[in-house]
């Protein structure tokens, strides 16, 4: 029983790390530009499939580094040519646009790489379990948690310690003032979007190694990411991180006791949070009104 | 004379709708397609009650549509073989769910409101998807069909006769649309417009904004559930896709495509969307890309919708 519990706890933590990685990217874009990026899951799938295509040429490690960067580059282009036109309009329009993009991305990946699920090769020494007793503790899973931790650490470093990050945070609070102080807001939003998409691409590469590749890989991860943002607190990145891990662990534990309630638990948590604390666990009260 | 001129478009719309089964076949359609336009049009118009006339963006209306559909289907299959009863149960289920969820989310605004509605919409999808024994899971709920309605003096054979079913749907549509139009003309409806235009000002005038938003949300979801019940009866089938987020998005695009600021716009949008989908999905496997591209093009080039363009032309 303890083993089963530990297994699902750890599983939940990994899944939660994915949700958090996705949700952090979504949150970045939402906070600075007011855009709900429905295509985030599509970008995740693109990252995963790009890595799959690159592995024969660059190897596992090369693909791990290059694929998210390429995905981020696609993100920069999408922001530059499509989403930028919609800033200042009703958020409805950017939501519909990214919604359409999500369709196109999913269908596009299916068209290019096929609808059947593809195996994603990972190095042998990472795939084997670390000990017999904790069979579920493969090197790859530990590696993934480690990598997510590094990525999240890197993100908070950028946000707190670099000029770009400070401008992003300032822009989240008052974009007009940041613009008045001489910062090129267009470039800032563009880079911020790219940063968010980079995280999606990275999540995609990591998810591919664990779940295998399917065109719907992104769609299945995006809904929990929304829940993570709402639970964690709107406008708060640490909140988003917390929310992602929480719902991951909660649904992992639900798998032990009531497998059919895996998803329901997440939404129950969301309902509870909205009832007790509408701004989310770490959200600031003023931001939702 | 002025009155007649003002009501001319309205008369035109109803003539077109009433005569639909007769001219639709002549232009290459079929009666069921007409019924689908009316049903999805009702859903889009109901969504627009909230979206266009209250100014609140819900991206999760498929949940209530699907609850209506499942409510009707499950009543038919498990409870009672009566078409009116199934409609009644379906819309009750959808509306009660909307009343509860609405109370949780009326404090949120803008993008956050949209995001929470998306997330809540998924709950019922997962329930329908997972609860195999009752809902049929991914395969959907089959093994039932709509039944003729006994009106006392005559029997309405909506099962065997496509046209009879079309006119039943149209009758429900007419009542629903009429009630929505009356509501929008009432002081309550005008208050919703005031909230849409300037929420803060409305609040200063002493209007209980949250209560109005909640009511508008519930009314909108009520009519969406009505459309959902009709949709299940139309197909004699329902599956989790009737609850999924992509359908919510389709409702929003119908409203935007037709024109959010006009009462009849969403019906026009629904007609265009349904016909296009029918055509594209019978010609290519990559219909998802087409629909996606369609979304992008509408947002970039037709943000005011078809009727919005007409109206601007008339004004200038």
Residue B156's DSSP bridge partners are: B149
Of A36, A85, A275, which has the smallest distance from its Cβ to B115's Cβ?
A36
> Quick check: A223 and B119 CB within 8 A?
yes
Of B110, B122, B253, which has the smallest distance from its Cβ to A91's Cβ?
B110
The pLDDT assigned to B135 comes to: 82
Distance CA B236, CA B30 (A): 17
Distance CA A45, CA A207 (A): 9
Per-residue pLDDT band at B170 (split at 50, 70, 90): very high
> Quick check: A107 and B114 CB within 8 A?
no
Of A30, A263, A288, which has the smallest distance from its Cβ to B108's Cβ?
A288
Q: DSSP label at A138?
A: B
Out of 3.10.450, 1.20.120, 1.10.3470, 1.10.287, select the CATH number for domain B2-315.
Answer: 1.10.3470
- Number of helices and strands in chain B (H, E): 15, 2
From the CA of B309, how many Å to the nearest CA of chain A? Answer: 17
The pLDDT assigned to A78 comes to: 95
Distance CA A136, CA A116 (A): 26
Tell me whether A1 touches chain B (CB under 8 Å).
no
Of A96, A106, A275, which has the smallest distance from its Cβ to B252's Cβ?
A96
**Chain A partners of B256 at a C-beta cutoff of 8 Å?**
92-93, 96
Residue A118's DSSP bridge partners are: A213
The pLDDT assigned to B316 comes to: 40
The pLDDT assigned to A70 comes to: 96
The pLDDT assigned to A289 comes to: 40
The pLDDT assigned to A73 comes to: 96
Closest-approach residue (CA) in chain B for A276: B104
Of A97, A226, A267, which has the smallest distance from its Cβ to B299's Cβ?
A97
pTM of the entire structure? 0.90
> Quick check: A274 and B105 CB within 8 A?
yes
Q: Which helix (H) or strand (E) holds B206?
A: none
CA distances to A213, A271, A287 from A276, rounded to whole Å, are: 39, 9, 16
| % of chain B residues with pLDDT over 70 | 96
The pLDDT assigned to A283 comes to: 81
Closest-approach residue (CA) in chain B for A110: B286
- Sorted by sequence, the CB contacts under 8 Å of residue B295 that are 6+ apart come out as A96, A97, A99, A100, A103, B249, B253
> Quick check: B292 and A100 CB within 8 A?
yes
Q: Which helix (H) or strand (E) holds B312?
A: helix B305-315
pLDDT (tens digit per residue) in A8-44: 888 888 889 989 999 999 999 998 998 999 999 999 9
| % of chain A residues with pLDDT over 90 | 48
Of A91, A104, A106, which has the smallest distance from its Cβ to B114's Cβ?
A91
> Quick check: B296 and A97 CB within 8 A?
yes
pLDDT (tens digit per residue) in B190-226: 999 999 999 999 999 999 999 999 999 999 999 999 9
ipTM over 0.85? The verdict is: yes
CA angle A123, A65, A159 (to 5 degrees): 130
Residue A80 CB neighbour total at 10 angstroms? 15
From the CA of A61, how many Å to the nearest CA of chain B? Answer: 32
The pLDDT assigned to B80 comes to: 77
> Quick check: B111 and A264 CB within 8 A?
no
Q: What is the mean pLDDT of chain A?
A: 88
pLDDT (tens digit per residue) in B217-258: 999 999 999 999 999 999 888 888 888 888 999 999 999 999
Spatial CA neighbour of A72 closest among A15, A115, A29: A29
**Chain B partners of A275 at a C-beta cutoff of 8 Å?**
104
Q: What is the mean pLDDT of chain B?
A: 88
> Quick check: B292 and A226 CB within 8 A?
no
Report the SS3 class of residue B141.
strand
> Quick check: A267 and B118 CB within 8 A?
no
Residues B286-292 have a mean pLDDT of 86
From the CA of A59, how many Å to the nearest CA of chain B? Answer: 31
Most confidently modeled range among A191-200, B68-77, B144-153, B272-281: A191-200
Spatial CA neighbour of B108 closest among B58, B47, B48, B62: B58
Flag the least confident range among A79-83, A90-94, B26-30, B169-173: B26-30
Residues B22-31 have a mean pLDDT of 80
Give chain B's length. 316
The pLDDT assigned to B315 comes to: 47
**Do residues B257 and B166 lie in contact, with contact meaning Cβ atoms separated by under 8 Å?**
no
Structural domains in chain A, CATH included, are: 2-288 (1.10.3470)
From the CA of B150, how many Å to the nearest CA of chain A? Answer: 41
Per-residue pLDDT band at A133 (split at 50, 70, 90): low
pLDDT (tens digit per residue) in A241-260: 999 999 999 988 888 888 77
Instruction: Return the domain boundaries, chain B.
Output: 2-315
Sign of the dihedral defined by the CA atoms of residues B131, B137, B138, B144, in that order = negative
Report the SS3 class of residue A11.
helix
> Quick check: A95 and B51 CB within 8 A?
no
Spatial CA neighbour of A41 closest among A54, A16, A22: A22
**Phi, psi (deg, nearest 5) at residue B141:** -100, 110
**Do residues B86 and B226 lie in contact, with contact meaning Cβ atoms separated by under 8 Å?**
no
Of B111, B291, B303, which has the smallest distance from its Cβ to A91's Cβ?
B111
Q: DSSP label at B219?
A: H
The pLDDT assigned to A287 comes to: 53
pLDDT at A288 over 60: no
- Within 13 A of A142's CA, how many CA atoms are on the CB side? 13
> Quick check: B298 and A96 CB within 8 A?
yes
The pLDDT assigned to B133 comes to: 81
Flag the least confident range among A128-132, A179-183, B49-53, B290-294: A128-132
């Amino acid at each position: 029983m303890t083993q089963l519990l530990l297994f699902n706890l750890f599983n939940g933590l990994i899944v939660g790390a994915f949700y958090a990685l996705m949700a952090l990217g979504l949150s970045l874009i939402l906070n600075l530009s007011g855009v709900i990026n429905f295509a985030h899951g599509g970008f995740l799938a693109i990252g995963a499939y790009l890595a799959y295509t690159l592995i024969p040429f660059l190897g596992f490690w090369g693909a791990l580094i290059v694929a998210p960067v390429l995905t981020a580059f696609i993100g920069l282009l999408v922001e530059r040519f499509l989403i930028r036109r919609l800033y200042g309009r009703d958020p409805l329009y950017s939501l519909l646009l990214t919604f359409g993009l999500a369709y196109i991305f999913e269908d596009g990946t299916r068209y290019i790489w096929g609808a059947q699920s593809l195996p994603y090769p990972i190095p042998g020494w990472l795939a084997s379990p670390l000990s017999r007793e904790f069979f579920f503790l493969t090197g790859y899973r530990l590696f993934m948690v480690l990598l997510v931790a590094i990525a999240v650490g890197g993100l908070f470093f950028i946000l707190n310690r670099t000029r770009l990050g400070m401008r992003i945070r300032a822009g989240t609070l008052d974009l007009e003032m940041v613009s008045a102080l001489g910062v090129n807001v267009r470039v800032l939003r563009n880079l911020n979007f790219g940063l968010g998409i980079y995280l999606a691409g990275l999540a995609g590469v990591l998810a591919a190694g664990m779940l295998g590749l399917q065109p719907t890989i992104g769609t299945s991860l995006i809904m929990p990411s929304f829940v993570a943002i709402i639970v964690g607190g709107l406008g708060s990145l640490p909140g988003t991180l917390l929310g992602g891990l929480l719902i991951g662990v909660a649904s992992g534990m639900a798998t032990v006791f009531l497998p059919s309630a895996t998803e329901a638990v997440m939404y129950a948590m969301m309902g509870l949070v909205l009832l007790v604390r509408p701004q989310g666990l770490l959200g600031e009260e003023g931001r939702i009104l | 004379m002025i009155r007649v001129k003002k009501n001319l478009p309205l008369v035109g719309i109803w003539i077109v709708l009433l005569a639909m089964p007769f001219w639709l076949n002549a232009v290459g359609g079929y009666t069921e397609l007409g019924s689908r336009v009316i049903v999805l049009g009702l859903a889009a118009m109901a969504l627009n009650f909230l979206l266009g006339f209250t100014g609140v963006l819900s991206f999760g209306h498929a949940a209530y549509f699907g609850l209506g559909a499942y409510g009707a289907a499950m009543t038919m299959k498990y409870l009672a073989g009566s078409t009116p009863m199934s409609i009644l149960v379906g819309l009750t289920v959808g509306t009660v769910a909307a009343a509860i969820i609405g109370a949780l989310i009326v404090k949120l605004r803008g993008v956050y409101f949209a995001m929470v509605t998306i997330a809540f919409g998924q709950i019922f999808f997962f329930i329908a998807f997972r609860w195999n024994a009752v809902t049929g899971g991914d395969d959907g709920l089959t093994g039932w069909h709509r039944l003729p309605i006994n009106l006392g003096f005559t029997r309405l054979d909506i099962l065997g006769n496509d046209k009879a079913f079309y006119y039943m749907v149209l009758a429900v549509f007419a009542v629903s649309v009429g009630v929505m139009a009356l509501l929008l003309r009432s002081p309550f409806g005008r208050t919703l417009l005031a909230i849409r235009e300037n929420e803060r000002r409305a609040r200063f005038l002493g209007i209980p904004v949250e209560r109005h938003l909640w009511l508008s949300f519930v009314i909108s979801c009520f009519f969406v559930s009505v459309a959902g019940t009709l949709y299940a009866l139309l197909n004699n089938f329902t599956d989790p896709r009737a609850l999924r987020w992509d359908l919510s998005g389709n409702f929003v695009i119908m409203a935007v495509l037709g024109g959010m600021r006009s009462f009849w716009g969403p019906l026009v949008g629904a007609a265009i969307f349904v016909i296009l989908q029918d055509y594209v999905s019978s010609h290519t496997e990559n219909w998802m890309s087409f629909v996606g591209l369609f979304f992008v093009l509408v947002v970039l080039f037709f943000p005011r919708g078809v009727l919005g363009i007409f109206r601007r032309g008339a004004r200038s």
